Chains A and B, each alone.
Chain A
Amino acid sequence: MASVALTNLDPASRAAARGWSDLTIRNLFIIPTLVFLIVFNIFPLIYSLGYSFTNFAANRAEPWQFVGLQNYRELLSDDHIWSNFVITAKYVIVSVAGQMIVGFGLALLLNRSFPMKGLITTLLLLPMMMSAAVVGLFWQLLYSPSWGPINYVLGLGDFAWLSNPDSALYAVAITDIWMWSPFVMLLSLAGLSAVPQHLYEAAAIDRAGWWYTFTRITLPLVSPILLIALIFRTMEAFKTFDIAYTMTTQPTAELIAIRLYKQAFQQWDTGKSCALAYIVLIMVLAITNLYVKYLNKVKER
């Protein structure tokens, strides 16, 4: 920011009368934010990194010991944890893919003018404005085997979506798709409306059919913003907790975030939980890094 010249303070201003300089004023704005970030974000981050090398337990007064990499070693060789990761991966793939398809599909439908477009768009956006825990509770009711409207409409009898070990994870993913497709839709809509109309006209003149235009013009031009949606949704899906936790207790739907919660606040294994949190963090970073690299490549074109 060195190139940004600070404007000079008006000598007649009250600030100048108090003997303040523009630097003083700049610091007045920046320092509270910095302090807040350090106290509530950076400090706990580093502190938990320290905990992850100990056998500290937050609910016990006993002195803790430094155990080195033991927590990491135990976690990475724990089959239970790996199965949590596999479940999470399945969930991320199903739920993000579903959101991308439904969200982008809705955006394609909305990317034209029709009566009450604004109202319909707003209504479609509502799910993502709700609290995830509330969404979870409501969908639990919707999925209810004996009197839930979903089984009634689909004629599935008393199929137990959430207590069936095979379907529980996908039932949660469907709820997540319902809740977060609007987010993808919103970003896609912005991307689609940024594609200049005259390119579509040129393609029509060039005798390109609908599918050819879609794959050669629309998709490549919208892909940077689709990738951004993909990054956001992957990160969020990876750490999904609230919806899944409120909806089901099936071990086949135990996402890594739920495992982490149980370890930290039910088993009070604080040191190990910190280690697990760091493993998750590194994984999310690695995945998003891949996306960002690809995004930059797409943007270069």
Chain B
Amino acid sequence: MTQIELRGIEKFFGAVQVIHNLNLAIADNEFIVLLGQSGCGKTTTLRAIAGLETIDKGDVLIDGKAVQHLKAADRDIAMVFQSFSLYPHMTVFENVAFPLRATRMSSGEVDKSVREVARVLRITDLLDKRPSALSGGDMQRVAIGRALVRRPKAMLMDEPIGALDAKLREEMRAEIKRLHVKQGSTTIYVTHDQIEAMSLADRIVIMHEGFIQQVGTPDEVYSHPANLFVAQFVGSPVMNIAEASVADQAGAASVRVGDAPAGFEFPGQLLPKLNGHSNGGLTLGIRPEGVLVRHDAAPGYIPVEANIIEPLGSFDIVDLKVGSTMLRARTKAGYVSGPGEKVHVRIDPEQAHFFDTASGKSLGVRL
């Protein structure tokens, strides 16, 4: 039962401010992912919660109690490091037992707790080995075991699977999710990988240059990105972003991308919503799956030429040239046979996002 709250956190490294007025409330049992590029302040935030980093302003509250002046050891929070940070001179058993022995738990209880965690993490066979004899995935299991064994108030994870190879990463991702569902402790997880964030998080906190950009469920940040940064950071393949202009065409709205000869047809109710942006300063965002492609002409579809095709197995990403702008569309595998093919394209109004170019903020248009 742990709530964590961050109030007005500011952090400077010398003259550089790495965290700007950060506010965040994390509910009990919630799995929060801090997502952002390297250098965005996400790890610093995590370390500040852990007590490994001091903060210059603000409060860190754990269960309503301000802890920013407490040492890491007194916050009762466990952490899994990206570098694993296993103690190299101890066996796996001793590593997992370390946090228990450090608080003088009786050896019978230590043994029981360690074996139970080892069973959950399937590392019982490894208990007598040293970390140097383990594979990357097993090392991470041990590191997670060391964090879980003392049933901490909260778990902090700093890119825990960032150092593993792709296949193992996927496995460990599923395992972390399984563990969280089973153990249910408040977890804060830092990553730069948006797929990890989407698959693990109850809520994602997207950070950029020390500012929180958006906080929301994976579906919210994916379907309703608050600004251009979030729109482009979340989702793979990346969302198409293009300068756009909107015009009234016999009651319907026509959205032109860049200098395209023709506009895409949108319902007329878009017009009043984009009133302030009839003279430009408008950016259209559309995910590749919102760019609809067909071979034959149909009303509302614009004829375009396919450029590059990236086959990705279950689907293709096709670059379409609309005027001088490239739109990337997601199609069935093999739907567009090759570069140069003429196809017809439309934008699904329900999946379109409109942003103010100057501020990057979403205009919140829903159709």
Contacts and interface: CB of A to CB of B under 8 A. Distances in A.
A202 to B, nearest CB: 4
A290 B89 CA distance: 22
A204 interface: yes
Interface in A179-227: 196, 198-199, 201-209, 212, 216-217, 220-221
A199 B73 contact: no
B201 interface: no
A301 interface: yes
Given A201-B81, A204-B51, A205-B78, A220 B89 contact: yes
B102 A206 contact: yes
A208 B98 contact: yes
Contacts of B130: 301
Contacts of A206: 73, 78, 98-99, 102, 146, 150
Contacts of B74: 207
A202 B85 contact: yes
Contact of A209 (B51, B78, B102): B102
A101 to B, nearest CB: 22
Interface bin, chain A:
10 to 19
A204 B50 CA distance: 10
A220 B77 CA distance: 26
Contact of B52 (A199, A205, A212): A205
Tell me what chain B mostly uses at the interface: helix, strand, loop, or mixed: loop
A212 B115 CA distance: 23
Contact of A202 (B71, B76, B77, B87): B87
B103 A205 contact: no
A186 to B, nearest CB: 23
Contacts of B103: 207
Contacts of B78: 205-206
B87 A207 contact: no
A217 B52 contact: no
Given A207-B73, A301-B89, A198 B99 contact: no
Contacts of B83: 196, 198
B72 interface: yes
Contact of A205 (B50, B86, B88): B50
Interface of A: 196, 198-199, 201-209, 212, 216-217, 220-221, 301
Given A198-B85, A202-B86, A216-B102, 4 more contacts: A203-B98, A205-B51, A205-B72, A208-B99
27 contacts: A198-B83, A199-B85, A199-B87, A201-B52, A201-B85, A202-B146, A204-B72, A205-B52, A205-B72, A205-B73, A205-B78, A205-B79, A206-B73, A206-B99, A206-B102, A207-B73, A207-B74, A207-B76, A207-B103, A208-B73, A208-B102, A209-B102, A212-B102, A217-B87, A220-B89, A221-B88, A301-B130
